[in-house]
Amino acid sequence: YLSNPVRKIPAAHPLAPFTGLWISSIRWRQIENATLKDAHDRLGPIVCLGPREISVNCVKGGIKDVYAGGFEKRDARSGYNWYGFFTNFGNGNMFSTGLNKLHSARKRMLSNIYSKSVVNASPALQAQVSTILYQRLLPCLASLASGSEKGVFEASSLLSASTMDIVTSYMFGLKAGSNLIEHPSQLLWFLDLYKSRHGWNFWPQEYPRLTSFLKKWLGVRLSPKWVDGANAEIEKWTKNMCDGAAGIMQQGSVKTEETPSVYQQLSAAVAKDAKKNEVRGVDLKPLIASEMLDHLAAGFDTSAITLTYVVHELSTHKDIQSRLQNELQTLSPRVIPSSQPNLPDPKTVDALPVLHAVIWETLRLHSAIPGPQPRFSPPQGCQLGPNGEYFVPGGVRVSASAGILHQNEEVYERASEWRPERWLDLDKVDEEKRKDMESRWFWAFGSGGRMCVGSHLAVYQMKYIVAALYSNYSTTVVDDTGIQQSDSYTAPPKGDKLLIQLEKLEV
Ligand code: HEM
């Protein structure tokens, strides 16, 4: 204790400087986000969570140094990597890779296909989104609106289906990607598998060695067998989509909407890399499949959580819902069935101020990943804190959380309220304040070399989905029990559902 410089950092709990068991028990009880928020409110921008763990909640001496400064995901001393849990098909991927050097080689292969310019200009994505909105989502909403439930339905699962269909279409092409909107039983099957694993990540993620030791040598399982079964099923489903995309690429000519943009890019880059490094006789398919599974999971869930909160907030803020509907009427063409297959230009949709403000305010207040994003301090240690006042030795787990950064009252006045106006009034605030709001403290997609690679695809799809829904319907809440976000890294509503009612607009 006496030789540990971390003891000088305000402690979230009297036991924190002495043992890591306190923060572990907080994680086990699934109250980590709330506990960290309370600790920062009481103790300031940097708090000690354990003898080798701290949390930061500031830009200078905080996220700027840790994330833009390239702290590794893997602890150099012990080799521990919290993200190793996201390994699939027995292979690492961009998200799970611990070392920055390995990670940047993979990221270089993929960042162009997810860049804003490529996403916005992609004819394949435009054709895919047009089919998904006009031939799947809008007909589905029309039948719900005129059906026996009189427009009442559970929104979060249909939003999950929509984001999964768009993300997998961009990855594998429209034909090889999913079609969950039109196949509700497949949607249920997938969501059941996906969600059955929730709550079982504590042991394998926090104590991976203990977990595998107990399983291997004593036959003791710390998570039930069905979790492995669910993972295997999801891998199988992903592999089928990979095989479908590979089959399409072998055809002589590929229709625009069938282009497997991401799969094609990654498989070409991986093959080129293998050739350059003279790697022979290695099956590269599991490596590609691991990356694909990670993207589809990261991409569908986070976007669907955000959209669920967009729909909830718009349903309870009718004034803003009407403003959005008026704005959507200015689109040419409008996103209504008679316009099909034409969609308004992605840049025009992106530039709609109210739509942008609604999405941004939801990403701020209901970040899909509000929980801590752990990294490790470099072996030589570093100075952290707003004035660099604390020395942090090497190998300390350091994290920041979007859910806490976004609650800073000095940057976002009345931070706990959903107020899209704050993004519409940016021209009234000075340059520094604008930068604070828009970039320095806005952390929904993280920052630095490991920030979200899919943020532009996420925003693209969320804006089109919201445009399609609110160009044709109004929504009201029927039952929002359990709408509060769960206390976890990725945070869906606690109740995992939102019942709304659709009302058809005159179009
Ligand atoms: C609203 C939607 C989204 C949100 C809020 C979001 C948020 C984030 C955040 C905060 C991170 C960094 C996490 C960390 O380091 O702990 C991240 C990473 C990542 N995201 Fe997203 N994401 C979204 C959509 C997407 C989409 C659509 C895709 C892909 C199709 C995607 C793929 C990834 C990948 C591959 C990484 C790892 C990047 C790396 O390690 O370099 N995300 N995302």
Closest C-alpha residue for ligand 1 atom 40:
95
Task: Give domain status of residue 305, yes or no.
Answer: no
At residue 373, the 3 state secondary structure works out as coil
CA dist 426 and 423 (Å) reads 6
Confidence of residue 319 (pLDDT cuts 50, 70, 90): very high
Answer whether 105's CB lies under 8 Å from 302's CB. no
Q: How far, in Å, from the CA of 299 to the mean position of ligand 1?
A: 7
Closest C-alpha residue for ligand 1 atom 32:
454
SS (H, E, C) 226-279: HHHHHHHHHHHHHHHHHHHHHHHHHCCCCCHHHCCHHHHHHHHHHHHHHHHCCC
Task: Give domain status of residue 46, yes or no.
Answer: yes
Answer whether 190's CB lies under 8 Å from 238's CB. no
* Residues forming beta bridges with residue 383, ordered by sequence position: 391
Q: How far, in Å, from the CA of 297 to the mean position of ligand 1?
A: 10
Q: How far, in Å, from the CA of 295 to the mean position of ligand 1?
A: 8
Q: How far, in Å, from the CA of 445 to the mean position of ligand 1?
A: 6
Task: Give domain status of residue 472, yes or no.
Answer: no
CA dist 55 and 47 (Å) reads 5
Where does residue 278 fall: left (phi above 0), alpha (psi -120 to 50 degrees), or beta otherwise?
left
Please give the torsion angle defined by the CA atoms of residues 103, 197, 183 and 296, in that order, rounded to the nearest 10 degrees: -10
Task: Give domain status of residue 19, yes or no.
Answer: yes
User: Which atom of ligand 1 lies nearest, measured to the CA of 262?
Assistant: 30
Q: Which domain holds residue 38?
A: 1-87+374-402
Confidence of residue 281 (pLDDT cuts 50, 70, 90): confident
Q: Which pLDDT score, from 0 to 100, does residue 177 have?
A: 98
Tell me the pLDDT tens digit for each residue of 84-140.
999 999 999 999 999 999 999 999 999 999 999 999 999 999 999 999 999 999 999
Task: Give domain status of residue 11, yes or no.
Answer: yes
Confidence of residue 507 (pLDDT cuts 50, 70, 90): confident
CA dist 72 and 129 (Å) reads 36
Q: What is the mean pLDDT of residues 330-356?
A: 98
Q: What is the mean pLDDT of residues 150-174?
A: 98
CA dist 54 and 396 (Å) reads 7
Residue type, 410: E
Closest C-alpha residue for ligand 1 atom 31:
454
The pTM (predicted TM-score) of the whole model is 0.97
Helices 285-316 + 155-172 axis angle, to 10: 140
Please give the torsion angle defined by the CA atoms of residues 3, 73, 283 and 107, in that order, rounded to the nearest 10 degrees: -150
Half-sphere exposure of 150 (CA within 13 A, CB side): 2
**Cα–Cα nearest to 475, from 290, 242, 316:** 316
Where does ligand 1 bind, in terms of residues with CB under 6 Å? 94-95, 107, 167, 294-295, 298-299, 302-303, 306, 368-369, 373, 444-446, 450-454, 457-458
User: Which atom of ligand 1 lies nearest, measured to the CA of 489?
Assistant: 16
Tell me the pLDDT tens digit for each residue of 431-448.
999 999 999 999 999 999
Instruction: Count structural domains, the chain.
Output: 1
Task: Give domain status of residue 457, yes or no.
Answer: no
At residue 377, the 3 state secondary structure works out as coil
CA dist 269 and 473 (Å) reads 43
Alpha helices in 111-199 (DSSP H): 116-121, 123-131, 138-146, 155-172, 184-196
User: Which atom of ligand 1 lies nearest, measured to the CA of 291?
Assistant: 35
* Residues forming beta bridges with residue 56, ordered by sequence position: 46
Q: Which pLDDT score, from 0 to 100, does residue 162 have?
A: 98
**Residue 8 CB: number of other CB atoms within 10 A?**
13
Confidence of residue 371 (pLDDT cuts 50, 70, 90): very high
| Alpha-carbon torsion (426, 432, 437, 439), positive or negative | positive
Tokens of 76: 């150099």
Task: Give domain status of residue 131, yes or no.
Answer: no
Asked if the model's pLDDT at residue 34 lies above 90, the reply is: yes
Alpha helices in 9-137 (DSSP H): 21-28, 32-43, 64-66, 100-110, 116-121, 123-131
Confidence of residue 204 (pLDDT cuts 50, 70, 90): very high
Confidence of residue 330 (pLDDT cuts 50, 70, 90): very high
Alpha helices in 345-430 (DSSP H): 346-350, 353-365, 402-405, 421-424
Chain center to CA of 36? 20
Half-sphere exposure of 206 (CA within 13 A, CB side): 18
Task: Give domain status of residue 483, yes or no.
Answer: no
Confidence of residue 67 (pLDDT cuts 50, 70, 90): very high
Cis amide linkage into residue 493, ω under 30° from 0:
no
Report CA-CA distances (Å) from 25 to 16, 222, 236, 369: 11, 16, 35, 21
Q: Which pLDDT score, from 0 to 100, does residue 280 have?
A: 87
**Cα-based angle 48, 50, 53 (whole degrees, multiple of 5):** 70
DSSP state of 84: G
CA dist 326 and 328 (Å) reads 5
Report the Cα–Cα distance between both ends of the chain, in Å, rounded: 69
DSSP state of 72: B
Asked if the model's pLDDT at residue 199 lies above 90, the reply is: no
Q: Which residues contact 240 (CB under 8 A, 6 or more apart)?
A: none
